[in-house]
Structure 1
Amino acid sequence: MTTPRSTVTSRARPVPAAASLRSRVAAELSARSLRHLNGALPLNAAGIFAGRQIVAGLMAAFGPVLPGTKVRQVREQGVRGEWVRAAGVAEGSRAIYFIHGSGYVVCSARTHRGLASRLSSTTGLPVFVVDYRLAPEHRFPAAADDIAAGYAYLLGTGHRPGDLVIGGDSAGGHLALDLVLQHAEQGTPQPAGVFCFSPLMDLTFALAEEHDRARPDPMAPATTGRPMLALYTEGQQLDSPRLRLTAQRGAVLPPFFVQAAAEEMLAGDARHLHTMLTDAGQRCELQLWPGRIHVFQALPLLVPEAAAALHHTATFVAAALAEADAPIARPA
């Protein structure tokens, strides 16, 4: 009889019961300033440009790149991105494939370089951040196609699927799930695991708006999400299989690890992903951290809990890779 593989879970320190004072103050100040600024930006060329600059500035100021980090640009095989290695991290066969978020419109590999450097430092692995095409210049399925091309690039450069862990934040979580669902449908070998920070799942933004009404998200009004996502999904039905993602029972999927702030606008999306996967018989661990900051893991100078959250993520990554490397027991 085949011995089942054990569930992949994190074994770092428990998630704290309450948010730190610094995190609470940061959320309140942001709710009184950044939320209103983001809500006022028009979704025209000037507004999108301004939004991109604001997010890039915030990420650089409150989640700077770790000293000694090495960055290598990739522009080959139709793939754009960058390898990020923290000080002391060597190149190797194992790696993290990270998919940045921000509504398919705003961010880039460069904005997420600080987060990638911390993921590399905490896990001891090189991180490849793909620079997928953004809306409104490029609409669906441009981003999803670029994510698939990035994964193919990693396999083509000698990485085995079981030596890769995929990560994504916000819209990057949606893209990560789409990728492994496509793998399941096509019978493509899966990565060792997937982790998601504040994953976007409901492209109608109904779940986010429900949370935002209960307590305003400090980053932006949830009502701005729907028109922003429409810049990517224009001309598509939001209930199409590639946009309204569903995990099927019996599908071969890697284990998932999901983190979100308990009071941010996408907390409901994180819960939805966890429920959908577990109801389908898939493995998924959910951590809801006290606080309100979206993708707080990227902003350690605002939210001190970011470091501990990344240690939980590193524990998951190590366990997923070890499980993927372990031989499956065969019938006697």
Structure 2
Amino acid sequence: MRSFSTIRRWVRPVLHVVLCAGGLALAASCQQEGGAPADPGETPAVVVEPDGTVHVPAMTVPVSEFLSPEGQTHLADHLYANRQAESVKLVDGVPAYLRGYMDRQSELYPVVKTDTEIAGIHVFDYAPEEGVSAENKRRVLINLHGGAFLTCWPACAELESVPIAALGGIRVVSVDYRQGPDHRFPAASEDVAAVYGELLKTYPPENIGIYGCSAGGMLTGMAVAWFQKHDLPAPGAIGIYCAGSAPPVMGFGGDANYTTAAIGEARAPFPAPEKAATDGPVYSPMLYLSEVDARDPLVAPTTSDEVLSKFPPTQIITATRGFELSSAVYTHSRLVKLGVETELHVWEGLFHGFFYNPDPPESRDAYNVMVKFFDEHLGK
């Protein structure tokens, strides 16, 4: 089992960078090929190893010119906040920097929230202040909040549910599923299945949608695999946001582990790992998943064509600076190959969970594609 300190390093790696030539860089990239220090007057060389590993020299990455002015400010604020201990401090269970987003959402998107239980599982049950629309009376969405399977209830539940309930005119049930450090896989999948099973008594499966961001996006895919194993019908549609369904062996995996850390989260990239074993179990540094093979299809559905081919219509949302980008893109490519109806939306210049802030127009655009997707697929 991984230590809790190891998990904390994975959830929010230390905000330490190696300064080289005035920029962010890996230590190895501060040298030219052959190990000689780079001449300050020369352009540092890109070093390529025989296996394709690339050592990237220090570089400056400006804010994308394709972002709206509000989006540019949002990115700068996010990067700055990630360097401040006070901004990530929990206050009444809510990271300090998220509180302003919650307050702003409540102004823009009025809802009625009911604190209750479904099938013995604690949930927040949201409805638009003016009531559920006529076309959505027989539809419901289940939200699975983010937080690395460790935290972010109720903050992420609010931020992911409130705008969708209000803009979509639909009921949204956010599940307070069991997380680490007190619980391990498959506790969260079991909780989602319990809530889903109870809602099936009121709604046909094709009228139920499930979505979540980050850990909640991972859990959305995991839940669909769990439903298959336990003979529950597939929901009408799902949204895997700020995540993918690939094995979470180190971070979310792929190139994005290394290309997005500095420009999306103001932190150093993960260290390059040793080659993963091709046989036998491999484990995620996430505490909740520390006792299960990260390649188990119930954890990473992309590892099983049989499981993934039975997925319902799936929407994937990510961003070019999101550390989940590679997993999201890979999951989409696997779904396409297997003939599953799927769509991928990638927001330029933004980062993991960017749409928690409701003010940038890019966030409203993301809400709109979410609402449209479920409106087009639920009950069809």
TM-score where L is the length of structure 1? 0.78
| Pairing partner for 2:234 from 164, 170, 190 | 190
Cα offsets for 1:234-265 (capped at 9, x unmatched): 22222223223225258432100111112211
Q: Which has the higher helix share?
A: 1
Cα offsets for 1:253-292 (capped at 9, x unmatched): 2100111112211111110110121122211100111122
Q: Aligned partners of 1:55 and 1:271: how far apart in 2? A: 28
Cα offsets for 1:95-148 (capped at 9, x unmatched): 111111121112124542243121012211110001111211212221121111
Residue of structure 2 equivalent to 1:108: 153
Amino acid at match of 2:114: R
Range with greater deviation from structure 2 (211-220 or 168-177) = 211-220
Q: Aligned partners of 1:316 and 1:264: how far apart in 2? A: 21
Contact 1:81/1:130, CA 8 A, preserved across alignment? yes
Q: Aligned partners of 1:145 and 1:102: how far apart in 2? A: 18
Are residue 289 (structure 1) and residue 331 (structure 2) matched?
no
Q: Aligned partners of 2:110 and 2:252: how far apart in 1? A: 40
| Pairing partner for 1:275 from 321, 333, 351 | 333
Are residue 24 (structure 1) and residue 72 (structure 2) matched?
yes
Contact 2:315/2:344, CA 8 A, preserved across alignment? yes
| Pairing partner for 1:232 from 288, 291, 309 | 288
Residue of structure 1 equivalent to 2:4: none
Q: Aligned partners of 2:107 and 2:147: how far apart in 1? A: 19
Q: 1:249 to 1:241 in 2, by over 3 A?
A: closer
| Pairing partner for 2:129 from 68, 87, 100 | 87
Residue of structure 2 equivalent to 1:218: 264
Q: Aligned partners of 1:189 and 1:276: how far apart in 2? A: 22
Q: Percent identity?
A: 21
Range with greater deviation from structure 2 (88-97 or 203-212) = 203-212
Determine helix, strand or coil for the equivalent of 1:239. coil
The answer for unaligned runs of 5 or more in structure 2 is 1-64, 274-282
Q: 1:308 to 1:172 in 2, by over 3 A?
A: same
Amino acid at match of 2:142: Y
| Pairing partner for 2:177 from 132, 150, 159 | 132
Amino acid at match of 2:325: A
Q: Aligned partners of 1:143 and 1:35: how far apart in 2? A: 28
Q: Aligned partners of 1:80 and 1:50: how far apart in 2? A: 18
Q: 1:66 to 1:83 in 2, by over 3 A?
A: farther
Amino acid at match of 2:249: T
1:89 positional shift: 2.5
| Pairing partner for 1:159 from 203, 215, 221 | 203
Amino acid at match of 1:239: R
The structure 1 segments of at least 4 consecutive aligned residues displaced by more than 6 Å after TM superposition are 47-51
Are residue 70 (structure 1) and residue 116 (structure 2) matched?
no
Q: 1:181 to 1:20 in 2, by over 3 A?
A: same
Q: Aligned partners of 2:264 and 2:196: how far apart in 1? A: 34
Residue of structure 2 equivalent to 1:327: none
Q: 1:255 to 1:275 in 2, by over 3 A?
A: same
TM-score where L is the length of structure 2? 0.69
| Pairing partner for 2:314 from 256, 273, 282 | 256
Higher normalized contact order (CA 8 Å, seq sep 6+, divided by chain length) = 1
Determine helix, strand or coil for the equivalent of 1:80. strand
Cα offsets for 1:296-324 (capped at 9, x unmatched): 222113x321111111111111110242x
Q: Which has the larger radius of gyration?
A: 2
Q: 1:110 to 1:36 in 2, by over 3 A?
A: closer
1:36 positional shift: 3.0
Amino acid at match of 1:36: R
Q: Aligned partners of 2:252 and 2:156: how far apart in 1? A: 26
Residue of structure 1 equivalent to 2:143: 98
Cα offsets for 1:171-195 (capped at 9, x unmatched): 1111111121233344422111011
Q: 1:62 to 1:273 in 2, by over 3 A?
A: farther
After TM superposition, the structure 1 = structure 2 runs for residues 197-208 of structure 1, keeping only pairs within 5 Å, are 197-201=241-245, 202-205=247-250, 208=253
Aligned-residue CA RMSD in angstroms? 3.2
Residue of structure 1 equivalent to 2:298: 242
